[in-house]
Structure 1
Amino acid sequence: MKKKITIAALATSMLVYLLSSCYQNKEDILALPRVSFRNEVVPIVTAGPCGCHNTSVTVRAVLFSDQRTNTIFYDAILARRGAFADWVNGGTHPGGGAIDFSPSEKNIIKKWIAQGEPYDDGAGCTVSGNLTYTNDIVPIYNTSCKGATCHGGIAAPIDYAKFVAKKDVLLTILNSGGNTGHPGGALSLTTCTVNKMKAWIAQGQPQ
């Protein structure tokens, strides 16, 4: 009888050990899917309660998209991450008014912010071919750098000559994803923007 009890105890101990070992083996545990910035967050802020940020008409609000050209300003959306965090965690629309996300939209944005870096999916464009300042960098500057509270407003405008002269500063900004190097503070840059500007610099910054 004692022998049977001993064998049963050993078997139970072995089973517990094996189960605990499997549980602690992180390679066997599938990571929870991340909230997609481009597929889940961007559709929320380019529609519904953010309508004034998605218009072809000149407005006071920062534009998230332009209906005329079907262009989405990903950098501008990323840059408002802090405002979104305040809003969905008990705050209100930064511009005032009875504007709000739905509970499900708030939940998506909360999860996106809580999961941390990288906030951008790291996709969105394919960088290939010859890049030029006029065709590729100016559009980025106009949508991500230029504005009343940025360059061309309270900060000095940047032209081709300054981009070339400040190449080292620009590379520091790009290599950190916008976190360091920018004299005006941290920036929120998408992977697409970073890769495109770095490719342009690598090609010799053609005009």
Structure 2
Amino acid sequence: MISVSCSKDNEASHDNGSCTTEDQSFASDIQPIFNTYCTSCHNSSNQSGGQNLTNYEGVMNAIDNGKLIGVITHASGYPAMPQGAAKLSDCNISKISAWITQGALNN
């Protein structure tokens, strides 16, 4: 079995100690995370795992099907994403989780 990494290395795997999770905006805070680490594999022409994370609707699909948090936190029973790369930073995971908790608005 060959494993292919579709993602860039997670350069932000080590936080600098400051992470703001209040008032997360999809366009400003969340989509850039997916664009950097996820959309090389999860896009409209290459929907790896059936996921397109290039837009709000695709991200909501990943939330609604219950997979998003499991894969980015490397939870047991979920494939670790980004595949073949370092886990997202704790800050990026916190931002995504906070945005979902704040209502996952398309803002």
Give the whole-Å Cα distance in 2 for the aligned partners of 1:186 and 1:163. Answer: 21
Deviations along 1:131-154, one digit per CA (max 9) or x if unpaired, are 12111111111111122xx22386
Deviations along 1:89-139, one digit per CA (max 9) or x if unpaired, are xxxxxxxxxxxxxxxxxxxxxxxxxxxxxxx44x33412321121111111
Structure 1 segments (4+ residues) deviating >6 Å:
none
Match of 1:201 among 93, 100, 103: 100
Amino acid corresponding to residue 169 of structure 1 in structure 2: K
Query: Whose Rg is larger?
Result: 1
Aligned CA RMSD, in angstroms, stands at 3.3
Higher RCO (CA 8 Å, separation ≥ 6 residues): 2
Match of 2:20 among 122, 127, 130: 127
Give yes or no for the alignment of 1:192 onto 2:91. yes
Amino acid corresponding to residue 61 of structure 2 in structure 1: A
Amino-acid identity (%): 21
Name the structure with the higher helix share: 1
Tell me the residue number matched to 1:142: 35
Please say if residues 71 and 79 of structure 2, whose CA atoms lie closer than 8 Å, have aligned partners that are also in contact: yes
> Where does the alignment leave 5 or more consecutive residues of structure 1 unmatched?
1-61, 65-74, 79-119
> Where does the alignment leave 5 or more consecutive residues of structure 2 unmatched?
1-6
Tell me the residue number matched to 2:78: 180
Residue 181 and residue 201 in structure 1: after superposition, are their counterparts in 2 closer, same or farther (change >3 A)?
farther
Q: Taking structure 2 as the reference length, what is the TM-score of the superposition?
A: 0.63
Q: How many aligned positions are there?
A: 91
Give the whole-Å Cα distance in 1 for the aligned partners of 2:71 and 2:39. Answer: 16
CA displacement at 1:173 relative to structure 2: 1.7
Tell me the residue number matched to 2:67: 169
Give the whole-Å Cα distance in 1 for the aligned partners of 2:39 and 2:72. Answer: 17
Please say if residues 24 and 99 of structure 2, whose CA atoms lie closer than 8 Å, have aligned partners that are also in contact: yes
Q: Taking structure 1 as the reference length, what is the TM-score of the superposition?
A: 0.36
Secondary structure at 1:166 match in 2 = helix
Residue 142 and residue 185 in structure 1: after superposition, are their counterparts in 2 closer, same or farther (change >3 A)?
closer
